[in-house]
Copies of this chain bind each other. A is one copy, B any other.
C-alpha cells in the first residue's frame, strides 16, 4: 500500500480502474445489481481500500458520463438550420 491518503475521497488504484473498465467495456456490466457491486468490491479490495459505495458510484458515473458524451457527439453532428 503505497499511498495512504487521508480520509478524503476514494482514489482508485490502477488495477481497480483496469478491472472496473474491463467489466464495463468488455463484459458489458453497465448496471450491476447491489449484490454484484458487493462482489466486485470484495474483489477490488485486494488491490486497495474500497467500499461498496465507491463501486456503486463508479458505475453510476460511468453510465451518466457515457451518455453525456454520446449526446454531445450526436448533437455536434446536428447542423442548426
Contacts and interface: CB of A to CB of B under 8 A. Distances in A.
Interface residues of A, number: 17
A42 to B, nearest CB: 6
Contacts of A45: 77
A37 to B, nearest CB: 7
Contacts of A38: 72
B74 A53 contact: yes
A73 B42 contact: no
Nearest to A34: B72
Nearest to A75: B52
Contacts of A74: 51-53
A42 B72 contact: no
